Structure 1
Amino acid sequence: MELLFVSLLSFFVLLVSFSLQLLFYKNKANLSSGLSLPPGNTGWPIIGESYHLLSAGWNGHPEKFIFDRLAKYSSNIFKTSIFGESTAVFCGAACNKFLFSNENKLVQAWWPDSVNKIFPSSEQTSSKEEAIKMRKMLPNFLKPEALQRYIGIMDGIARKHFETGWDNKAEVLVFPLAKTYTFWIACRLFVSVEEPSQVATLLEPFSAIASGIISVPIDLPGTPFHKAIKSSIKVKEMLDKIIKQRKIDLAQGKASKTQDILSHMLLTSDENGSFMGDSEIADKILGLLIGGHDTASSACAFVVKYLAELPAIYDGVYKEQMEIAKSKAPGELLKWEDIQKMKYSWNVACEVLRLAPPLQGSFREVLTDFSYNGFSIPKGWKIYWTANSTHRNSDVFPEPLKFDPSRFEGSGPAPYTFVPFGGGPRMCPGKEYARLEILVFMHNLVKRYRWEKLIPDENIVVNPMPVPAKGLPVRLFPHPSQA
């Protein structure tokens, strides 16, 4: 046993030594070629600084990884190594503008290998091609006319959700309920699934998928990556059954091409007349279900958190929403005009998104060598931009930890500083969709209850989105009309 230990230790030392030599020669090659790389540290061989990035989120302070290095290097661009990739981290509004303006020119979308393993069809084409394909497909379902039709559906689901999950309960766990609400809406609008038990069965594996998408891609039992792969397989098996049944329903005239995104995918060919296969459609739907509920559920949960902590802010939202509620006939669902009246509520939601952005940042791949701010960024490197580099920057938002919805009055924050949905050609196409479901959630929530947090100083974990560590338990106090 001792000999085995010594042998393993020797192998590890050799591996580290080899990696260090490789790193030395790589840096030497960069210097000899005259490149002026950004300042920074690539961390440990192979794993780089991935653990430091992830652990900052696990400890509830994802901005720490960024701000510690900004202070250390006195530069708004620094180099690191994340997920085995040489990476330049771009921080601040000017960097955001540069990246968003050069999409598909100098940079293109990129995700770690973990994403390709969880969404296998994305390995068949480039991330750029995938993005173009989806952005051609989504507008019909996310354009204003379609969104206006969704409001009544969202409000109807919200009412059922609060009746079954919140009403007549003294205490509830907010975050799981918020996930149920946003996932229920996504299932209804994307694949026409709305039966609560079927929605719950589909939802169960999704937490593991979200945690594993941005993780160290080690496929061993017990790792987040392994759990994500297993869960994605389980979800796609369920989606495959839904797809096969939909084909039958379309053939028999029981379903229509325009009823949801699934039907559209099944019946729409590309410019070459080719249709997507069932496996590719399952991957796309899986991605849409993740994107269509995870970010909004995080935002909804943090709305509850901040409204519990800030009674004056709650009172402002309550006043606005009750004026809308009193203007409605009994049983009448929300309409587009009602959403347009929720200006203060949306300012509050935006401040929530500033302090707890569901999208912490994202990656780009460098398409060609370029220089920016005096630094050379080599082709093939990855770039990581982060929302918190502006959201929590006191030069951009004075007193950045203070909750202040007035930041969004008038013309609002300066361009490229408030980026919870990204920006440029890659801005999240579901931004308006998310706005609707967040506001519908707020409307149904505050007209029913006040509440208080049961864990005053509950920790926040970012993995990969901010989540209350204990699920945000609250005690409910129904308004007299709801009691």
Structure 2
Amino acid sequence: MELESLILALLIFVSLYYIFPLLNFNIKPSVKREQPGLELPPGSTGWPIIGETLEYLSTAKQGVPEKFIADRRNKYSSSSPCKVFRTSLLRESMVVLCTAAGNKFLFSNENKLVKSWWPANIEQIFANSEKTDTTQETIRLRKVLSPFLKPDALHRYIGVMDEVTRQHLEMYWSSSSSSSLDYVKEEDKRVIIKFHPIAKKYTFTLACKLFLNIEDPELVAKLEGPIQHISSGFISLPVDLPGTKFNRAIRASKEIKKEFEEMVKQRRIDLHHFSETTNSNHHHQDLLSRLLMETYGDGKELMMESDIANKLYGLIVGAYDSTSTTLVSIIMFLSQLPHVYDAVLKEQMDIAVSKPEGELLNWDDLQKMKYSWSVACEALRLLPPLLGTFREAITDFTYEGYIIPKGMKLHWNMFATHKNPEYFPDPEKFDPSRFQGQGPAPYSYVPFGGGPRMCPGKEYARFKILVFMHNVVTRFKWEMVFPDEKIIMDPVLAPTKGLTIRLFPHQSS
């Protein structure tokens, strides 16, 4: 009876996957197929409705996301390598640009020929109010973030990052703290930690401190609970039924948004009280306070608490997954490559011994971490946190002799250039020297985007990664408990077993 029920449930689930798009009343307009003398790029739409989405996702989940791009580049190449091809992903006809020149083209033509576009799942999870749309909010958020996250502004946070990192290691990298029991255990007097969930907790704690001025561990834990479910719904089946990833993501989104709205309301009261009592318009210069000063497009009405909450948790979700998985890949490579670890350790120990005991890291220290940052960059080349992002054509235009009609979706994929031997010879080899001297060819290395579309959080990520590397390597060496563990995309980068590592503190060596 249980087997019959399971089969029935599976049949219903699969049926819903095919039927749901047909019941979606937000019918998308069809794009113009051709113009005289011009053709769409070569390609295939794959299966009805699902297109080539399953293969796109399955190669990522197998740990070889570059295979989807490479197979089609080879298939559609004739006398010269294929630079652009057409496919069907996430229920959309889509063009994939697979060269550094393609990356440059998209980044340089933002809001001229193309605009940001997000799959329907993400739009629904991060729903805006009727006063805003995704494109407007992308522009607004970049504007607000840029002054907050530029290097000069971040200098004052380096010491805070260092202090939070030291506290994190004391709390979660030993078995002495009861709060770490879910992630830490002892085996033959050696501490073993499951690194991925600890890395998430670390990046989230730091984001709460710097963006929201929140330090209360109980409040941080309360906020982190629902946020863990959000990214799993990004490319899940768009079925909003109890028990599905999509449903959990939507419920988590509503829960975290409600918490943030209450936080925003209280901060607005605090800011008003502060300005009245001090005759000043300045208070905590964190991101939340800056957003409270923002207005809508007409410049007359302050942003609603719900829209501010949306921006905050959207930003923190991005930092939560992207930086934590970058730390995962760095820890993995340093474990697998002792000569790289030794070189990083030497650089970091030279910095550590030059400082008075207890003094926190500063801007000058981070400037000396050149090899460490090259290691981080190579980890980001081989294992970027995301596959890439999407655009939508806002007018007809041509690219490489093909027509890209208005409404067509476009995709740039990091692996299209990161694993391409044309830009990175012997692309599977971990080689930090690629980022020394002149570095990679322009627009071939794009974990943070590029040009005018460079991620405003790049320097924040760089500071956080380097501070973390310094503290970890100067205190520990480690080995992977499961040496053959893979890191896959599902839908963001993640180790299959949580990256469990055995620690060897330097002082006991």
TM-score (norm 2): 0.87
1:56 aligned onto 2:59:
yes
> Residue type matched to 1:175 in 2?
H
Conservation of the 8 A alpha-carbon contact between 2:108 and 2:453: no
Q: Which SS does the other structure have where 1:156 is aligned?
A: helix
1:283-362 paired onto structure 2 within 5 Å: 283-362=310-389
Residue matched to 2:247:
226
Which moved further from structure 2: 236-245 or 265-274?
265-274
Q: Deviations over 1:99-147 (max 9, x none)?
A: 1121111111111111221111166533321122112211221122211
Count of equivalent residues = 466
Residue matched to 2:155:
148
Q: Deviations over 1:149-169 (max 9, x none)?
A: 110110010000000000356
Specify whether residues 305 and 226 from structure 1 end up closer, same or farther in structure 2 by C-alpha distance, changes over 3 A only.
same
TM-score (norm 1): 0.91
> Residue type matched to 2:439 in 1?
G
Q: Deviations over 1:322-341 (max 9, x none)?
A: 11111111211100000000
Q: CA deviation at 1:386?
A: 0.5
Q: Structure 2: how far apart are the matches of 1:272 and 1:239?
A: 23
Q: CA deviation at 1:216?
A: 3.8
Q: Structure 2: how far apart are the matches of 1:54 and 1:257?
A: 45
1:212 aligned onto 2:233:
yes
Q: Which SS does the other structure have where 1:245 is aligned?
A: helix
Q: Structure 1: how far apart are the matches of 2:394 and 2:155?
A: 39
Q: Percent sequence identity over matched residues? A: 52
Residue matched to 2:420:
393
Q: Which SS does the other structure have where 2:33 is aligned?
A: helix
Conservation of the 8 A alpha-carbon contact between 1:76 and 1:91: yes
Q: Which SS does the other structure have where 2:424 is aligned?
A: coil
Specify whether residues 451 and 28 from structure 1 end up closer, same or farther in structure 2 by C-alpha distance, changes over 3 A only.
closer
Q: Which SS does the other structure have where 1:205 is aligned?
A: helix
In the TM superposition, structure 1's runs of 4+ consecutive aligned residues that sit over 6 Å from their partners are 26-29
1:226-265 paired onto structure 2 within 5 Å: 226-253=247-274, 256-265=282-291
Q: Pick from 37, 47, 52: which aligns with 2:50? A: 47
> Residue type matched to 1:462 in 2?
M
Residue matched to 2:464:
437
Conservation of the 8 A alpha-carbon contact between 1:190 and 1:261: yes
Q: Pick from 73, 77, 90: which aligns with 1:70? A: 73
Q: Deviations over 1:296-331 (max 9, x none)?
A: 111111110000000000000000001111111121
Q: Structure 2: how far apart are the matches of 1:380 and 1:386?
A: 19
Q: Structure 2: how far apart are the matches of 1:436 and 1:323?
A: 18
Residue matched to 1:268:
294
Q: Structure 2: how far apart are the matches of 1:241 and 1:105?
A: 38
Q: Deviations over 1:30-69 (max 9, x none)?
A: 3586540111111122222222212222222211211111
1:454 aligned onto 2:481:
yes
Q: Pick from 186, 191, 198: which aligns with 1:170? A: 191
1:115 aligned onto 2:122:
yes
Specify whether residues 200 and 49 from structure 1 end up closer, same or farther in structure 2 by C-alpha distance, changes over 3 A only.
same
1:11-30 paired onto structure 2 within 5 Å: 30=33
Q: Structure 2: how far apart are the matches of 1:32 and 1:369?
A: 10
Q: Structure 1: how far apart are the matches of 2:172 and 2:444?
A: 37
Conservation of the 8 A alpha-carbon contact between 1:83 and 1:216: no
Specify whether residues 235 and 473 from structure 1 end up closer, same or farther in structure 2 by C-alpha distance, changes over 3 A only.
same
Structure 1 runs not aligned, ≥5 long: 20-25
Structure 2 runs not aligned, ≥5 long: 23-28, 176-189, 276-280
